[in-house]
Structure 1
Amino acid sequence: MSQPQRNDIPQEAFDWYDEYAHGGMDRRTFMKKLGTLVAVGYSMSVLTSALLPNYALAEQVSFNDADIKATYETFDSPQGHGKGQGYLVVPVNQAEGEVAPLPVVLVIHENRGLNPYVKDVARRLAKAGFIAFAPDALYPLGGYPGNDDEGRAMQRSMDRDKIQQDFVAAAKFLKSHGNSNGKLGAVGFCFGGYIVNYLAAVESDLLSAGVPFYGTPAKKELRENIKASLMVQLGEEDERVNKSWPDYEADLNRYKVPYQMHMYKGAKHGFHNDSTGRYDEANAKLAWDRTINFFTEKLS
C-alpha cells in the first residue's frame, strides 16, 4: 500500500492541531491522537511536517532585501506592561531620509509571539510601500523564545488585558511615526485577527482600516464604536472561528460599519501561514492581494 501524502491528511488532524494550538489540548494528547492515524498507515513525519511550522518556508522577503530597512523599536505602554517592542520595517527611501508621508500598518501575530512568519509579513508590507510595525506581545518576558510551544505557554501566562493595551499603545506609536500620513491600518492572524477587531472597537478613531484573518470579534458591547473599514478574511473549513461570524456580521450591519467578508473555499484556519501544511497558496495569494489593494485604497 502506498504511503499517504500531506494532501491526503484528514481534516480531523488539522482540527486536532487547531485545538492544540489554542490551548484546548496538551502536546501529549495531540501526539497520541496523531498516533491513531499512524496506526492506519500515515507516517508520523508526514503528519508533523504538515501540521507543525517550518519557518524556513515562510521567508518571501529577505531581511537583507535592498528595498527595505528593518529595526527593533521600543514604545511606552503605560496601561499595559510599561514598555513594548516591535519590528519596524520601512521602504528604504524612508530610511535614507526622504520624508514623503506613507500609510502605516500594524502587523499582529498569533497566540505565540513574534515568530519569523509574522516578521516576514511586515517585510512584505514594506515592499508594497507601507511602513509596517509588528509588536511582540512576549517582549515583557524576553520576547519570542524561538519555538511556538514555549511562545504559546508564555503568552497564555500573561494578563490578556495588558496585552491588549500594549497593542493599543503600539498602534498609537506607529500612527505617530514621523513619516506616517496619519492613517493606520492593522492586519492580524488568529489571535492577531481578534486584536484587529478589538482595536477597531476600543477607540473609534484609532484605525482607518483593518484586515482580520480568521479572528474572533471584540466584545459585543464595544462593537458600536467601530468606524474603520474592515475586510474580514475567513477559511471555509474553520468552524471554530466561523461560528462567531453571523452575530458579528449582524452587529456590523446594525452599526453601519463599512465591511466586506471573503470566505475562501476549502481553506483551513491559518491558510495564509506559509510555514505549515494548512497553507493554501492560491487562497493565500488572493487574500493577500486583496489586503494590499484594500490598504492602498483606504489608507492613501
Structure 2
Amino acid sequence: MSVQDDQIPAAPASPPRRGFLGATLATGFALAVRPVAASTITTDSVGLTAGAITIAVNGGDMPAYRARPATGQGPLPVVIVVQEVFGVHEHIQDVCRRLAKLGYLAIAPELYFRQGDPRKYPEVADLLKNIVSQVPDEQVLSDVDATVNYAVANGGDPARLALTGFCWGGRIAWLYAAHNPRMKAIAVWYGQVLQPSTANSPKSPLDLVAQMKVPVIAFYGGKDQGITQENVGKMRAAMDAAGKSFELHVYPEAGHGFNADYRPSYNAEAATDAWQRMLGWFHKYGV
C-alpha cells in the first residue's frame, strides 16, 4: 500500500462537519493499514506519563496524545508530532513515546477531529475524500499553534521547541516552518512540496520558501512514486537560492512512508539514519 499526499482530491463546496472524538483518542492502528507488519516497533510507557489529553481550540476540545518523562526536572524540550494521513493512530503515539524516552515532551494533536475519525475508514481513497480533503491548512496551523501553547503551559520549555511531521504531516511541517518563528527546528518526513492548489490547501511548501523562518531537515525516498525527485530537487534549489538553513536527504532505495514500521513501505536502514539525523538537527539548534 502506498499513500501519497498528491492523491488528495479537491474539497466539495460544503464539507460535512462530524465532530466525533470528544475527549478521547482510540488505541490501535487505522483500519486502512491492517494487518500490521511484523516489523512494527512497540515502545512501552515505563518511566513515562503517556496518554490522551485535550487542548482547547476554536470549535471545541481537540484530542491529542502526550508522552513525557514521568520524573525529572523541567521545563522539558518539546517536540510536536504531526500525524500521518491516518491520524494519531498507534504508530504516531509510539513515535511520541520514543521521543519521551529521550527526555522530550512530545504531543501529537488529532488535527482531523472536526471532520471525522480516520481510523474507521478501511479504504485510503475514502479517507482522503471524506476527511483529509476537508481539513483547511489555516485551521491546522491554528491548532498546531494551540498545541505549542499547551506544551509551554504544561511543562514545556518555550526556548526549546521543535516539530516533526510524517507524510501528510510532513507537508504541514514545511508550512509550519513558514508560519511560526518560535520553533527552533523542524524535521520533515516525505512531505509533499508541490501539489495542486485547492480551497483548503491553497499553497504548496514550494510557494512559501521565501517565508521559511525555521531551520528544516527533510527526508525523502528515492523510490517515492508520489513525490518526484524533480520536485524534491526544486525544493532543494529554492531553499539554497533563498539562503535558508536546511538539509535535505534522499535515501535512494527507500519509497514513501519509509519510517512507517507497521507497513511494507518500512525501510529500517533509511528510517534509523533519518531518526538519528533528526535528533542531531534538534540538538544542533538547542532542542
TM-score interval (norm. to shorter): 0.7 to 0.9
Question: 1:96-111 maps to which residues of 2 (within 5 A)?
Answer: 98-111=72-85
Residue equivalent to 1:171: 148
Larger radius of gyration: 1
How high is the TM-score relative to the length of structure 1?
A: 0.74
Residue equivalent to 2:48: 68
Comparing 235-244 with 272-281, greater Cα deviation is found at: 235-244
Q: Find the aligned partners of 1:201 and 1:299 in 2 and give their Cα distance.
A: 19
Question: 1:155-194 maps to which residues of 2 (within 5 A)?
Answer: 155-194=132-171
Residue equivalent to 1:290: 277
Is the partner of 1:212 in helix, strand or coil?
strand
| 1:118 to 2:95 alignment | no
Q: 1:285 to 1:169 in 2, by over 3 A?
A: same
1:132 alignment partner AA: A
Aligned residues: CA RMSD: 2.7
When the two structures are aligned, how many residues end up with a matched partner? 250
Q: Find the aligned partners of 1:113 and 1:233 in 2 and give their Cα distance.
A: 20
Q: Find the aligned partners of 2:286 and 2:111 in 1 and give their Cα distance.
A: 25
| 1:231 to 2:217 alignment | yes
- 1:151, distance to aligned residue in structure 2 (A): 4.9
Contact 1:207 1:228 in 2 (8 A): yes
Residue equivalent to 2:21: none
Residue equivalent to 1:37: none
Residue equivalent to 2:258: 271
Question: 1:20-35 maps to which residues of 2 (within 5 A)?
Answer: 22-23=7-8
Relative contact order higher in (CA < 8 Å, ≥ 6 apart): 2
| 1:195 to 2:172 alignment | yes
Contact 1:75 1:85 in 2 (8 A): yes
Give 5+ residue unaligned stretches, structure 1: 1-13, 25-50
Q: 1:128 to 1:240 in 2, by over 3 A?
A: same
Contact 1:113 1:155 in 2 (8 A): no
- 1:175, distance to aligned residue in structure 2 (A): 4.0
Contact 1:238 1:267 in 2 (8 A): yes
Residue equivalent to 2:104: 130
How high is the TM-score relative to the length of structure 2?
A: 0.77
Structure with greater helix share of residues: 1
Contact 1:84 1:135 in 2 (8 A): yes
1:91 alignment partner AA: P
Contact 2:116 2:131 in 1 (8 A): no
2:250 alignment partner AA: M
Q: Find the aligned partners of 1:52 and 1:243 in 2 and give their Cα distance.
A: 32
1:114 alignment partner AA: V
Contact 1:60 1:124 in 2 (8 A): no
Q: Find the aligned partners of 2:231 and 2:5 in 1 and give their Cα distance.
A: 20
- 1:130, distance to aligned residue in structure 2 (A): 0.9
Contact 1:128 1:292 in 2 (8 A): no
